[in-house]
Structure 1
């Protein structure tokens, strides 16, 4: 919730320790602003904040009464208790309270006779069912109240955004934004509580003194160094190459690898020269074959028929 039930105790009346110096100064200037006819706008702002606080208090009181009524209904000896506004549509099974249920179960077990074990088992199941019904009814009350608080938060954020409070820019469910809004509402809660206690004039004078002190504190702080619009140096992106682990530390044996991206030189045909040993063997082979060929020709010349025909 944005507002607590009781007013918070601030260590610093300006609230700069909660929301920072600049946000606290915006709140104080808003509370000390005046109209053209001299009326204080801060009173209207604090009345809106007090109305939001009262709305939250009413919802919390309704939830507390609903849970209290349910608790009394469970333990009350009255069989037909009044349920209140939020419990008007409850199930009829929950009219019986714990004492009435236990009395009925005891009476049932007293006349069970031989079926006592079965009756006791049935009574145990009925007790468990009763507890589940009570838990379901309690959860129904909590769920209904949670939805009501969610709608209340939506309404509060719209109202507080309309008066230009720091941290409020329409409805939101962001956790960090709601936490900051709660701190702003704590400052405003303390402000309208103190105004009702000391009076409007005294409170307005106190706020103006806080504005002057906070302005002097902010002005005395060293200014933040101006950021120079310097263009960062432009570097060309390196050519992407495949990454291999062994390339981080080159090894000597990989440094003489030929560059395969360059085409090889044209191939030059060389004259084939036979070795001397092969020439020597070929000469011996020719010397052995030549006499045999001559001998064969000489034999064919002598093997002819008388007609001059060779065989």
Structure 2
């Protein structure tokens, strides 16, 4: 019996490539990688061109049983578009809807949409983590586009009968991570003293390994359809604790200096670095109790192990 065909969009990206590699290793499903440009997955599995901005160029989906939709216009730290929401909508809403409609018409059984915890909001207060059934509170154009896509996908699912699974991850890290997490590793690796020794916030993160494990779990789990799942590593960690774990994995004696948060946050805001201030100092906790109970799933990789894997990959890349 042939294994079910699973199309993974955004397969040249951080999460999408991780999903494809896991499917290849499991050999339970046949992954098909949908990419916008050349991918190192060529030769490992079937690769299709899939430019979500050009809806008429979407690939044929005949013979696909499951779509895992990772492709997106991602959150941009320094947005330059005059109408940012319109740009996000082109890919994250219009492109997603076009893909879902084509999938439903082709008889795809299940559509797994990788959304974002930013649909829930930007921050939490102590003891009140985000839950799967909280009223959405998106703030920026990226979050609004993800929320709108979720709404449209639910309508398509109701109209067509195609099963829908929505997953909302927080910040994802792991081997090959970029952006802020990479910057933190670089700061600590260079031994620069950092004024972040007294940040007592609570943040939920998710390692690539844990997120991919949940996504693959949802490919054929009978209880997955119709649900919105929040995901994390299962623990919260402060910015200072995170830096200490990275420092330990790097084996660097970097000094973390406790400086008043109001001073640091105010300075970053004055410099126009509001998003960096938010991610360094605000709390964002995620409650994954329902994900655990509905799917019988728990994060298989501990935070310490996941960070160690991430740091080792970073160090190997520095040697090369």
In our comparison, the structure showing a higher alpha carbon Rg is 1
Q: TM-score range by the shorter chain?
A: under 0.3
Relative to its length, the structure with more strand (as a share) is: 2
TM-score, with structure 2 as normaliser: 0.20
Greater RCO between the two (CA within 8 Å, min separation 6)? 1
Kindly indicate which of the two structures has a greater share of residues assigned to helix.
1
Relative to the length of structure 1, the TM-score reads 0.20
